[in-house]
Structure 1
Amino acid sequence: MKKGKITDWLIKSNVIQAEDRDLYDYACRSLVFLFAPFVIALVVGMVFSMVAEALLMAVPYVVLRSFCGGFHLKSIKLCLVVSTLSYLAIFSIGVFVSCDIFYYVTAVISAVSIDVLSPIVSPNKKIDSGRILHFKLTAIILSTIILIVVFVLFIMHIGHFSRFLTLGMLLTASLQWPCIGGSHIID
């Protein structure tokens, strides 16, 4: 996707003013980053004939990622390729591993990891120092809610679906782990 292509079209069509370009470029990028995980999930879900499960796994990722921070790639194209492969790899765990204890432990480890590490501030995703506490508390609250839902689903014997919520938390946490040593962005 050429940077600003949609914004250029909106300006040429007299829908927006040229001076609003930066705002609309940001909005378009934000929409791409919001919907890309669901598109990736849809494709992966269709490959495995498990669309509901794949979309369910995307929910915790989308909800948590903006408050947790973590590893980023500079290139959108490379990001989409790596994201798709990561999503596919972690989704495969849900397809091939059926041990409930594994998911209990993974859910707790992912939630604790998210709570302790969030937010990871990277050079291209800066956060005001006054908002860091807000992001941390939001990440803790959201991960706790998701963890409770995971365990309620297990208790209700709907563990099949809770495993994919767990894997969505694992995906989010796993993108924080490479940053522990300080590396946030790869070219």
Structure 2
Amino acid sequence: MVAVEVLLGATAQHIVLAYAALVISIAIAVPLAVLSLSSRPVASVVMTAANLVQAIPSLAVVAFVVPLLGIGFYPAIIVLVFRAFLPIVKNTWIGLSTTDPTSVEAARGIGLTNGQITRYIRFPHAYPAMFAGIRFAAILTNSVAVLTAIIGSGGLGTLIFEGISGSNIATLLSGAVPAILIAVCVDRALGEVEARIQK
């Protein structure tokens, strides 16, 4: 059996690793989506780069990051940011760019600036798509955070890999079960946040 202190420490480290990366991804992706809305060249570059990164397998991203940044917690965050970026930026951009043109023109007609249109017209329309991207990215970072244990990130992945290498089912489940519960709880919490924002 895994000691309670070890399990709690690994769980806390896993949560910080996965969801610090998610917050960083949101902070980068949402402004880029807004910027892409006003510039087709920027949109083309951002979407192409995001699709390219997403097409690379997670293990390959880990292998690519290690020679550049080494191993440990912070290189693992970079890996997770790469993985979470595409669904957030793509879904946010789709939501913003598919706003009803009639609503946008009506807003311009009453004197709203582009910034006000984005804030009051486009974002409320984009919330369902944006939150779908964020929820998918949250599950993705939670699962890839397990994988980054192979480069010394710590967290629940360490327990899972220890259980696999030692054929110890108890240790494996000590890492896997909390990881699954975290994913479910975060997804439900984000669903509640989305529902409150859209009221």
Name the TM-score class by shorter chain: 0.3 to 0.5
Larger radius of gyration: 2
What TM-score, normalized to structure 2?
0.31
What TM-score, normalized to structure 1?
0.32
More helix by share: 2
